[in-house]
Amino acid sequence: MIGSPITPQGVIERKRGIGKVEVEVKNMQSDKDREEDMDRLSDLPDFVLLHIMKFMSMKHAVQTCVLSKRWKELWKRLTNLALHSSDFADLAHFSKFLSWVLSNRDSSISLHSLDLRRKGCIDHELLDMIMGYAVSHDVQQLAIEVNLNVKFGFKLHPSIFSCEGDCAEPFSTCHVLNTLVLDRCNLHHGAKFLCICNSNLSSLTIGSTTQETPYKFVLSTPNLRSLSVMRDPIHQLSACDLSFLEQVNIDVEAYFNAHFQRTHLALISLLQVLADYVKTMILSSSTLKILNGLSTSGSMITQIPCFVQLKSLKLKMKSSSSISDEGVSRIVEYLLKKCPLAKVDVINCRE
């Protein structure tokens, strides 16, 4: 006999043996592939890696320093800092990490954004340090969501918010600020004017205030392109130059009884300031309701100005709006007399 016959069982055993070898080879290849993938990632230019890292929390971005020598210093050049307490077991570890990051980051590089979030209270001195760091590094976007125990009389960093005399001028030192949203903003220490003085600002949204005595807005924003006024009409507004203003969005509400007349006058005053500049104007159904009320109050409607540059008038209508179609038609007809070049679009919106 040349050899003993190979039983089916023997074939199966050999196949199993080959299978084990194949699996081991595949596992070895997987490890190698992972190493090659890491090599390919490290071969990317720094600006690509930094772009990827900006989508990480700061804790995870710092942890990349252990990957290789190439990554050790890379996180220090990030321009977007996401500092979230949810990544840490307690406030003590979070506070220590914040101080360490700000101390070790490359201070020669400006900040694009700083996003600080803490569910709970934070040490006032630490918050002041963070805000001071943001200002000194020309931050463009600053988001802070923390709880403050105001009974200690803590004041926000003076480089961001300051008030002298009757006028508060909070944003003149924010040289790269381009988008500003003010909502439920009150003035203190007897200030009567809120001066928004910023040559870089392009988008401004003004919401409501809980302050009983209205204050006056003064705009010195030569590059402002978009203005939104929400809920409360601005009671008094003055502006020295809005030549670049493209779009105005007005979504205000009428307040009855003692404030009804004030709301009408404030809306007319706002329209008069904007009339020479705006190219696109968006009016909500609640704003149209106020204008409709003006149309039934005699001479007040005639105070609505001519919009000499207006090219587009957009009406945002809600299904729950209490203004009738007849009322809308009446206001549109009157506005078109004031802006003969404008095209009217009706936008039906959900609640």
Q: In this prediction, what percent of the chain has a pLDDT beyond 90?
A: 17
Q: Is the pLDDT of residue 118 over 70?
A: yes
pLDDT of residue 112: 81
Q: Which two tokens stand for residue 159?
A: 């480089």
Q: Of 157-171, 280-294, 335-349, where does mean pLDDT reach its minimum?
A: 157-171
Q: Is the pLDDT of residue 253 over 90?
A: no
Give the integer Cα–Cα distance in Å for 310 and 177.
Answer: 27
Phi, psi of 232 (to 5 degrees): -100, 130
pLDDT digits (tens, 9 = 90+) for 15-74: 344 343 343 434 444 555 555 555 677 677 888 888 888 888 899 999 988 888 888 888
CA distance 236 to 214: 8
Sequence-distant (≥ 6) Cβ neighbours of residue 88 within 8 angstroms:
59, 94, 97
What does the pLDDT look like over 15-26, one tens digit per residue?
344 343 343 434
pLDDT digits (tens, 9 = 90+) for 166-188: 778 888 888 888 999 888 777 77
